[in-house]
């Protein structure tokens, strides 16, 4: 019977929900290429944060200009 101990590390990872194909793809890249991917991900997150702030700010402005805004009552 297969126990937790005699499972391979890859098998345990698959059962945990880790996408092994991502790891296999990463292993085909150079170290620099892997870190460039990470840097790209960081840039994407940064852009999304900025977009969120812009949207949130616009919502506040439009709410302030609305006739239903508490500030106009």
Partner 1 sequence: MTRIQNILQLLINNNIEFVIIGGVAAVAHGSAYSTSDLDICYSRSMENLKKLSDTLYSINAKLRNAPPDIPFTPDVPTLKSGLNFAFVTALGDFDILGEVGGIGFYQEVKNISNEDIVFGLKCFVLDLDGLLASKKFAGRGKDKPVIIELEALKELKQKK
Cα 26 from Cα 63, distance rounded (Å): 46
Taking CB under 8 A as the binding criterion, the range among 26-34, 52-60, 63-71 that sits at the site for partner 1 is 26-34
CB of 30 to partner 1, least distance (A): 8
Coil, strand or helix: which one is 9? helix
Coil, strand or helix: which one is 73? coil
Q: Is 48 one of the binding residues for partner 1 (CB under 8 A)?
A: no
Q: Is 43 one of the binding residues for partner 1 (CB under 8 A)?
A: yes
CB of 73 to partner 1, least distance (A): 37
Task: Please list the alpha-helical segments (H only) found in the chain.
Answer: 9-16, 20-27, 31-65
> Which residues are at the interface with partner 1 (CB under 8 A)?
8-10, 12-13, 16, 18-20, 22-24, 26-27, 29-32, 34-35, 37-39, 41-43, 45-46
């Amino acid at each position: 019977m297969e126990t937790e101990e005699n499972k391979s590390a890859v098998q345990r990872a698959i059962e945990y929900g880790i996408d092994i194909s991502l790891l296999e793809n990463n292993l085909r890249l150079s170290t620099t290429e892997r870190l460039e991917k990470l840097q790209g991900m960081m840039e994407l997150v940064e852009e999304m944060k900025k977009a969120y702030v812009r949207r949130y700010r616009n919502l506040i402005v439009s709410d302030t200009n609305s006739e239903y805004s508490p500030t106009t009552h």
